[in-house]
Amino acid sequence: MLRFARWLLNALFGLLTTRQVEGLENIPAQPPYILATNHLSFFDVPWVVSVLGAEGTTTWVAEKYERHPFFGPIVRLGDPIFIQRGEVDRNALQAAVEALRSGRIFAVAPEGTRSKTGGLIRGKSGCAYLAQHSGAPIVPVAITGTEDLGRRLLRLRRPKVTLRVGRPFRLEPLTAEARIDGLRQQADEVMCRLAALLPARYRGAYAEHPMLKQLLDADLKNSGGQ
């Protein structure tokens, strides 16, 4: 089912857009792992699945789409976990943890909702929670170009969409006493790693974050820059 969904999505994106993909060598050889991406539009998850979705990939999808006459059949092709938006859906959280523990790939947008400005908004702790409870590494995935994809298509233009995969990383284990504050800090770490992969105009709420500066300085040093 997922293979057909990828084929269909790749055909559509190939026809309607100009695509650029970087960093595929950073994808781990074996799951489980978490694909963490910024969220610009409805097209983000299909774009990520079309490029990176391997057998066993799943994600959260808002419950309102489960029985949607048009989007419902499409999203169900990806075997999603439906989630109640606007509340802490513990069943959906646990289902995602179990998916990772069983060796699957989980794609998530840590911001929890689409950015209205194109810049990153404050990340939520769900991604960090999944990493803590599953032990899975996180692979940051930065997307650009999907924010105006629909508008440009209506003008009969092929927009350029890009996907950049960063190096996987693991979050430090947290003690029970430090979990609440620790998850908040680790949510910001995930977002800063995404910000480091994005052009400056997309960094939004994390543009001046000290952790982002450290990551950018480290990248510059590793690349031999001054």
Q: How many CB atoms lie within 10 A of CB 20?
A: 12
pLDDT at 78: 65
Burial class (CB in 10 A: 0-12, 13-18, 19+), 56: middle
CA 12 to chain centroid, in Å, comes to 20
- Long-range pairs for 89-92: beta carbons < 8 A, 24 or more residues apart: 92/60
Q: Name residue 37's beta-bridge partners.
A: 141
Backbone angles phi, psi at 223, to 5 degrees: -85, 0
pLDDT at 67: 65
Residue linked to tokens 């419950």: 63
How is domain 2-222 classified at the CATH fold level? Glycerol-3-phosphate (1)-acyltransferase (3.40.1130)
pLDDT at 107: 92
The tens-digit pLDDT sequence of the chain (226 residues) is 667 777 777 777 777 778 899 999 999 999 999 999 999 988 787 778 788 877 788 888 877 765 666 665 666 666 788 888 777 789 999 999 999 999 999 999 999 889 989 999 999 999 999 999 999 999 999 999 888 777 766 667 778 889 999 999 999 999 888 888 999 999 999 999 999 999 999 999 999 999 999 999 998 887 765 5
Q: CA-to-CA distance for 4 and 112, rounded, in angstroms? A: 27
Q: Report pTM.
A: 0.87
Q: CA-to-CA distance for 67 and 76, rounded, in angstroms? A: 10
Q: CA-to-CA distance for 224 and 12, rounded, in angstroms? A: 39
pLDDT at 157: 75
pLDDT at 81: 87
